[in-house]
Structure 1
Amino acid sequence: MNFVIVTGLSGAGKSQTIKFLEDFGYFCIDNLPPALIPKFAEICSQTGGKIEKVAIVVDIRGREFFNDLFKSLRTLQSMGYNYEILFLEAKDEVLVKRYKETRRNHPLAHDGDIFEAIKKERLKLSELKKQAKHIIDTSDFLPRQLREELEKIFVAGEKFESLIISVQSFGFKYGIPIDADIVFDVRFLPNPYYIEELKRFSGLEEQIRDFVLKSKEANEFLDKVTDLFEFLIPHYIKEGKSRLVIAIGCTGGRHRSVVLASEIYKRLKDNGHTVLINHRDISKDVSGERTK
């Protein structure tokens, strides 16, 4: 029998995850008191093989019962049942935004301070996170993207890579993304903005893509940074990093950076990494005003 313990930060997507796992054929229970997990495993084993895949959500909503979790997991293992822990997390500001949108109260925000509640929850869950087999940062995920990642792990059986890579194009005139881990400046490449018949297009369109990629320097850049990322990514994973933001910038964030960010995204995705793409400033620089 396959047991998946779904846990993580409040607001990180556990409810959505359990719905997807149910779609994948898992028998799912939300907020089961940890002390009941071994007994529940016994009940499932008595169904004659009718229940082979089980997902249980356990988190700090269980209050004092949550402290029984590690003892219950040891009991589960001693009974001969294998389990794996799926841990969901997200950035603080994303969690706060989600709580404000849903108007729900954080389980630990007794005084209304959500940031302090998230801090307490991270501390309380830190040991559980260390034991997790899968860690997913849902900060930048749409529901369909979360489903795709879960499907890779629990349906296709693909090797899971805990590092979520976000490739972002931007314009320097609008500021460097504050959450960027690695920033590349591609303003050394020819700028299609100064060609009258091209400047109205964006880097998502064929005309601009062809213009940028006909440059020998652009292709050399792509080859070199791809090699760099393939070197860095395993080391980031080894050190426990769960999110990597790669920012590619040009002047306005509409042409060169969009093309190169899209190419890097494609290369990393083709190499089997979990990658997201975001063109932050693609719609901003459409007027005739321009700064170098």
Structure 2
Amino acid sequence: MAVIKVTSYGLGHHDAPRTLRPPIDIDTRELRNPPDDPAVRARLTQLTGRDPEVAHYVMTTPGARELVDASVERVLTAIAAGQDHIDVTVSCYGGRHRSVAIADEVAAELRERQHCVHIHHRHIQMPLLPSRRTEAQR
């Protein structure tokens, strides 16, 4: 049985997780980000991707379901190829919202298929990073 380690993290912290093998990398930066959305910023920013409201917000972003499904397929392909240890890294800018929600969803899907999954949220408790968007973009 393969062991799968899923790690979420924020690229803005400049300390990506180290892995023994090249990981399956999932970049979530194209998905909606609560701190960048004025409609939900005040309500969701201080929460994390583990909060059901934030997870729902992220997972209802166009393309989120497809990203999860494609990522699960990549892991299943690696297992079918005989890999016994698979690292999956899931990134966003701050490591608190999008990467956490997607990492949890990928892990849940793999567990439903009876795989051994360990999950670690590297930056979930870190302070919010300043937004990369300028005021002109808001």
TM-score normalised to structure 1 length: 0.41
Q: 2:11 aligns with which of 165, 172, 183?
A: 172
Q: 1:198 aligns with which of 44, 47, 55?
A: 44
Q: 1:189 aligns with which of 31, 46, 53?
A: 31
Per-residue CA deviation, residues 219-266 of structure 1 (Å, 9 max, x unaligned), is 11111222222222121x2xxx43211000000100000000000000
2:69 is the alignment partner of 1:223: yes
The answer on whether the counterparts of 1:165 and 1:246 sit within 8 Å (CA) in structure 2 is: yes
Greater relative contact order structure (CA < 8 Å, 6+ sep): 2
**1:164 maps to amino acid:** V
Per-residue CA deviation, residues 172-231 of structure 1 (Å, 9 max, x unaligned), is 012221116222211000111232221010000011011111113101111122222222
Tell me which moved more, 216-225 or 263-272.
216-225
Aligned mates of 1:267, 1:217 — CA distance in 2: 17
Q: Which runs of 4+ in 1 moved over 6 A?
A: none
Aligned 1:48-197 pairs, distance under 5 A: 161=1, 163-174=2-13, 175-179=15-19, 181-194=23-36, 195-197=41-43
2:122 is the alignment partner of 1:280: yes
The answer on whether the counterparts of 1:253 and 1:285 sit within 8 Å (CA) in structure 2 is: no
The answer on whether the counterparts of 2:75 and 2:86 sit within 8 Å (CA) in structure 1 is: no
User: How many residues are aligned here?
Assistant: 125
How large is the RMSD of aligned CA atoms in angstroms?
1.4
**1:177 maps to amino acid:** P
TM-score normalised to structure 2 length: 0.84
Aligned mates of 1:219, 1:282 — CA distance in 2: 22
Larger Rg: 1
